[in-house]
Amino acid sequence: METQTVLMAFGLTLLAGLSTGIGSALAFCARQTNTKLLSLALGLSAGVMIYVSFIEIFFKAKQALEADLGPTQGYWVTVLAFFSGMGLIAAIDKLVPDFENPHEIHKIEEMQDEEGLNKFQRLYKVGMFSALAIAIHNFPEGLATFTAALKDPSIGIAIAVAIGIHNIPEGVAVSVPIYYATGDRKKAFYYSFLSGLAEPAGALLGYLLLMPYLSDTVFGILFAGVAGIMVFISLDELLPAARQYGEHHLSIYGLVMGMAVMALSLLLFA
């Protein structure tokens, strides 16, 4: 595999992960949460991920596995890998306690809530474990972005953008409780930034563990698993988060727009 392709895949994963820093910066610079924009953006991100997962990634995984294992066995392995990806991210989601979950919704206005500050100072007892839990939660996203970029750079770019969009409100969600716990804005930004670095770390771990054994079969299984991870993230995190911001219709409009943008880009660059 060409070094340039691997470096580009790492670069895309890093940019997607560091978008948490944008969200953290917004939490400290803005005075109000733009719920309409966030709902639309989260919906758009979900639309991109759902469309590319079912139309492109699942299909390419099935194609690779059928070529290696035959039509029947290849299709079975594709489906099993798809649902295994869903199972992996669901299991990780279960291991992260609710108030430490980076996908729990918070608003910028909470930064000025003194009562909320005291509440989180009482709740937030686990310090470094919280940062570790956040990092573990973001590992599969990094692997998903990296694997997609290795297989098809155009798909990798689309997924990196979608993951990056959804990491912006995640940065807010990480910063708010950590600021409540410490009263330190720099520390809140640092941990938010650090949680984003878990995504390129996930890509690096996947590369070191899996690349020596890479074949069409392994790539097909990985690709199908990536599709499952992204569909689960979209349905379990992005769309519910958009609804929690109180703009249900905008999230659906964003979903349709995301699908349309992804479809158009695939047509133009086919």
Cα–Cα distance measured from residue 140 to residue 59, given in angstroms and rounded to the nearest whole number:
20
Higher pLDDT, 232 or 133: 232
- The beta strands (E) that lie in 69-116 are given as none
Residue whose structure tokens are 């809530």: 113
Look up the pTM and report it: 0.73
The chain-wide mean pLDDT, for the chain, equals 77
Nearest 5°: the CA angle 102, 107, 111 is: 100
Residue 1: the pLDDT is 57
Nearest 5°: the CA angle 75, 78, 80 is: 110
In this prediction, residue 85 has a pLDDT band, given cuts at 50, 70 and 90, of: very high
Domain count within the chain: 1
- Which segments are annotated as binding site for Fe(2+)? 138, 141, 167, 170, 199
Domain that holds residue 173: 3-268
Mean pLDDT of 179-193: 74
Cα–Cα distance measured from residue 147 to residue 161, given in angstroms and rounded to the nearest whole number:
15
SS3 string of 73-127? HHHHHHHHHHHHHHHHHHHHHHHCCHHHCCCCCCCHHHHHCHHHHHHHHHHCCCC
Q: Is 214 helix (H, G, I), strand (E, B) or coil?
A: coil
- Which segments are annotated as binding site for Zn(2+)? 141, 166, 170
Residue 21: the pLDDT is 80
Is residue 252 pLDDT above 80, yes or no? yes
- Which segments are annotated as binding site? 138, 141, 166-167, 170, 199
Is residue 130 pLDDT above 60, yes or no? no
Q: What are phi and psi of 105, to 5 degrees?
A: -80, 130
Tokens encoding 160: 């990196």
